[in-house]
Amino acid sequence: MYFNSIIFAKLSKMTLKETEEYFAQEILMQYDQNEANSIAKIALQFLLGLNNINYSLEYRTTVPQQAFAEINEYVKRLQLGEPIQYIIGEAHFMGFNFQVSPQVLIPRRETEELVALIVQENMQKRALKVLDVCTGSGCIAIALKKLLKDAEISAIDISKEALAIARENAIKLKTKVKFYAIDILETQDLTLGHFDVIVSNPPYVTESEKKRMHANVIQHEPHLALFVEDANPLIFYNKITALATANLLPNGRLYFEINEKFAKEVSDILEFHNFSNIIVHNDMQGKARIISGKMKN
């Protein structure tokens, strides 16, 4: 990588620290200072091929002049609102590196909390059968496979492009997950078998909430992954809960990531379908973000 080039190092003027400051400064119109600093670090680590430790070691070293064409290209794309994860083609989730593209949602911090809850509540059980509905990049399914070692994991998405990325992620992360192209809203019964856990982070942002969203989300992330109609915002929760009653084993558990506005409504759906132990879990920002329930015997 660039740091191996003594010739270029001699030509350059800015240290890595100064370059990071310059980079962050250039994207301050789009991000607050903390976000800008962390994006600058992610971008420079990627561009210069440095891991966390090497990044610190090289912090006072000059950045080769040659690297600045790409650095400025990244800055330009960030200024136009492109998320850094799509620029570098990867996102961190539960300590693993997932490949992402504009065909899949960028895995979110809240979704890590969903995975952590499932692991915490099910780690004692052996040979768990898990179904992830609306898998996108495969982040939930693959992270669960990594963390619940002998679990058998299946995952569904409507998008063939998303499934192609999810399959690549499973290969790259050396996990076995079965992926299926299924439109969950059109499925009358799931013939994939019975499961101990069904989890879903379905589209849940209403069209009317679009206005308050960051422009970079609306312009760059897949709308198929994000939005539901105002007239039927719970369409996925109704359908997936109904299917879960037929596809969960006795005492099986259902986990949803939810729109904080609809905690009561999603709880009611689970109650209507006779789930017990229905719990609303808040995320780290104190917002209702996860609902879990247990299938009655």
Ligand X SMILES: C[S@@+](CC[C@H](N)C(=O)[O-])C[C@H]1O[C@@H](n2cnc3c(N)ncnc32)[C@H](O)[C@@H]1O
The residues binding ligand X (CB under 6 A) are 105, 107, 111, 134-137, 139-140, 156-159, 162, 183-185, 201-203, 224-225
**Residue 62 DSSP code:** B
Nearer to ligand X, 31 or 93 (CB): 93
Q: How far is the CB of 4 from ligand X (least distance, A)?
A: 36
* Spatial distance between the Cα atoms of 11 and 14, rounded to a whole number of angstroms: 10
Nearer to ligand X, 14 or 158 (CB): 158
Q: How far is the CB of 72 from ligand X (least distance, A)?
A: 31
Q: How far is the CB of 43 from ligand X (least distance, A)?
A: 22
Q: How far is the CB of 225 from ligand X (least distance, A)?
A: 4
The runs of H, that is alpha helices, within the chain are 6-11, 16-26, 33-48, 52-57, 68-79, 84-88, 109-122, 139-147, 160-172, 215-220, 223-226, 235-247, 263-272
Nearer to ligand X, 47 or 290 (CB): 290
Nearer to ligand X, 74 or 262 (CB): 262
Nearer to ligand X, 158 or 280 (CB): 158
* Spatial distance between the Cα atoms of 28 and 281, rounded to a whole number of angstroms: 34
**Nearest position to ligand X, beta carbon:** 136
Amino acid at 40: A
Q: How far is the CB of 230 from ligand X (least distance, A)?
A: 16
Contact 258, 266 (CB under 8 A): yes
Sign of CA dihedral 226, 232, 237, 241: negative
Residue that has been written with the tokens 């996990």 in this structure: 175
